Amino acid sequence: MSGTVLSGRTSGRPAEGEPLIGRAFRVLGAFSHANDRLSLATLSVRANLPKSTALRIAAQLVEVGALERGDDGKFVVGLRLLEIAALAPRGHGLRAAALPYMQDLEHVTRQHVLLAVRDHDEAVLVERLSSRDATPVKYRIGGRLPLGATGVGLALLAYAPDDVRASVLGGDGSGERDSLSRRRIRQLLASARGEGVLTLTGPNPVSGGPGDITTIAAPILDGRGGAMGAISLVSPGRNTGLIGHRLALRTASLAIARAAGRARGVT
């Protein structure tokens, strides 16, 4: 979940006939990494629901363990959601296959190793391993990344449906997802498809660290040639010549694909 308000309405009233499950997801979608403990008033505002409605839905979610309420009255996401999310095959199933290879990469490079899957026109981070002395990054597990401006996003975009690629390449030129030129995006997509790996260097979005960061990313392909996920290595500086890291990441992506195929019984 992105943690953004899920509706553009400002009336504070749910849409006419909006299903309860839709309003429940608006309540859950009000939480974010920066807003992980919410009072009823804040929850109501972020979900764009009247207080009475937000309280009724939140109380029901507390009953089933999807939310928890502390002694201070504030709501947090409940452990029941973590249990359910752990069953998602596109996330945690792939994570189980990838984790040994990610651990090897993190041990050798002492940097960040990311694993992501595509959800419509965004990448969702399902795992991140980070060395203690790795450069700070803003990526978090469960966070969403733009397809057109991140290494794992571009690796996924290279194998996304035509309409998704057209949407990214045909953006209005504003926002983080369009920070790369369309020509550069096409070059990186061609690298991902032709070489199985891409290298992206750009400004570091986190203050206090190096001015630039370099991401090497590779798609993880299934037996039909589609991308089940993508893996990336994030390191400080303009390290565009890390041929060894490119080879290691490409090798890891192939090994993860084989391991994931075996786990699903695909030969």
Query: How many residues are present in the chain?
Result: 267
Q: How far is CA 141 from CA 18, 81, 221, in A?
A: 30, 14, 21
258 band by pLDDT with thresholds 50, 70 and 90 = very high
Identical fold between 20-85 and 89-263 = no
**Range 20-85 classified under CATH 1.10.1200.10:** no
- Give the pLDDT confidence score for residue 139 in this predicted structure: 76
Gyration radius of the chain's alpha carbons: 20
Over residues 35-39, the mean pLDDT reads 91
Angstrom distance (rounded) from CA 131 to CA 128: 10
Tell whether the model's pLDDT for residue 3 goes beyond 50.
no
Give the 3-state secondary structure of residue 160. Answer: coil
- Residue with tokens 């839905």, as numbered in its chain: 57
In this prediction, what percent of the chain has a pLDDT beyond 70? 83
Over residues 8-27, the mean pLDDT reads 67
Model pTM score: 0.69
Q: How far is CA 81 from CA 69, 124, 244, in A?
A: 14, 16, 39
* Domain residue spans of the chain: 20-85, 89-263
Tell whether the model's pLDDT for residue 266 goes beyond 70.
no
- Give the pLDDT confidence score for residue 11 in this predicted structure: 44
Tell whether the model's pLDDT for residue 239 goes beyond 70.
no
Tell whether the model's pLDDT for residue 203 goes beyond 60.
yes
**Range 89-263 classified under CATH 3.40.50.720:** no
Confirm if 215 and 150 have CB atoms less than 8 A apart.
yes
